[in-house]
Amino acid sequence: MKKILFVTAEAHPLIKTGGLADVSGSLPKALAELGEDVRILIPNYQAIKCAEAVYFKSTVRIADAGRSVDVNLLETRLPDSNVIVWLVDFAEYFGLPGNPYVDASGEAWPNNAERFALLCRVAVEVAQNRSYLDWQADIVHCNDWQTGLVPALLSLESRRPATVFTIHNMAYQGVFEKSAFTALNLPNALWHMGGVEYNGWLSFLKGGLAYADRITTVSPTYADEIQTADYGYGLEGLLSYRKSVLSGIINGIDAEHWDPAADAYIAQAFDSKTLAKKLGNKTALQAQFALPVDKKIPLFALISRLVEQKGIDLILESLEDLLAEPLQFVLLGSGDKSFEQQLLAFAERYPNKMAVKIGYDEGLSHLIEAGADVFLMPSRFEPCGLNQIYSQRYGTIPIVRNTGGLADTVTDTLPESIANHTATGFVFNDASPGSFTEAVKRALLVYSLPKVWKQLQVNGMKKDYSWQESAKHYQALYQDI
Q: 333-365 pLDDT, tens per residue?
A: 999 999 999 999 999 999 999 999 999 898 999
Q: What is the pLDDT of residue 255?
A: 87
Q: What is the pLDDT of residue 121?
A: 98
Average pLDDT over residues 14-31: 92
- Indicate the domain borders of the chain: 3-252+467-480, 275-461
Average pLDDT over residues 251-271: 94
What's the per-residue H, E or C state across the chain?
A: CCEEEEECCCECCCECCCHHHHHHHHHHHHHHHCCCEEEEEEECCCCCCCCCCCEEEEEEEEEECCEEEEEEEEEEECCCCCCEEEEEECHHHHCCCCCCCECCCCCECCCHHHHHHHHHHHHHHHHCCCCCCCCCCCEEEEECHHHCHHHHHHCCCCCCCEEEEEECCCCCCCEECHHHHHHCCCCHHHCCCCCCEECCEEEHHHHHHHHCCEEEECCHHHHHHCCCHHHHCCCHHHHHHCHHHEEECCCCECCCCCCCCCCCCCCCCCCCCCHHHHHHHHHHHHHHCCCCCCCCCCEEEEEEEECHHHCHHHHHHHHHHHCCCCCEEEEEEEECHHHHHHHHHHHHHCCCCEEEEECCCHHHHHHHHHHCCEEEECCCCCCCCCHHHHHHHCCCEEEEECCHHHHHHCCECCHHHHHCCCCCEEEECCCCHHHHHHHHHHHHHHHCCHHHHHHHHHHHHCCCCEHHHHHHHHHHHHHHC
Q: What is the pLDDT of residue 19?
A: 83
Average pLDDT over residues 122-132: 97
Q: 197-248 pLDDT, tens per residue?
A: 999 999 999 999 999 999 999 999 999 999 999 999 999 999 999 999 999 9
Q: Which CATH number fits domain 275-461: 3.40.50.2000, 1.10.287.3510, 3.30.70.20, 3.50.50.60?
A: 3.40.50.2000
CATH code, 3-252+467-480: 3.40.50.2000
Confidence of residue 18 (pLDDT cuts 50, 70, 90): confident
Same fold, 3-252+467-480 and 275-461: yes
Q: What is the pLDDT of residue 105?
A: 85
Confidence of residue 30 (pLDDT cuts 50, 70, 90): very high
Whole-number mean pLDDT of the chain? 96
Q: 286-331 pLDDT, tens per residue?
A: 999 999 999 999 999 999 989 999 999 999 999 999 999 999 999 9
Q: What is the pLDDT of residue 437?
A: 97
Q: 69-94 pLDDT, tens per residue?
A: 999 999 999 998 999 999 999 999 99
Instruction: Give pTM, 2 decimals.
Output: 0.91
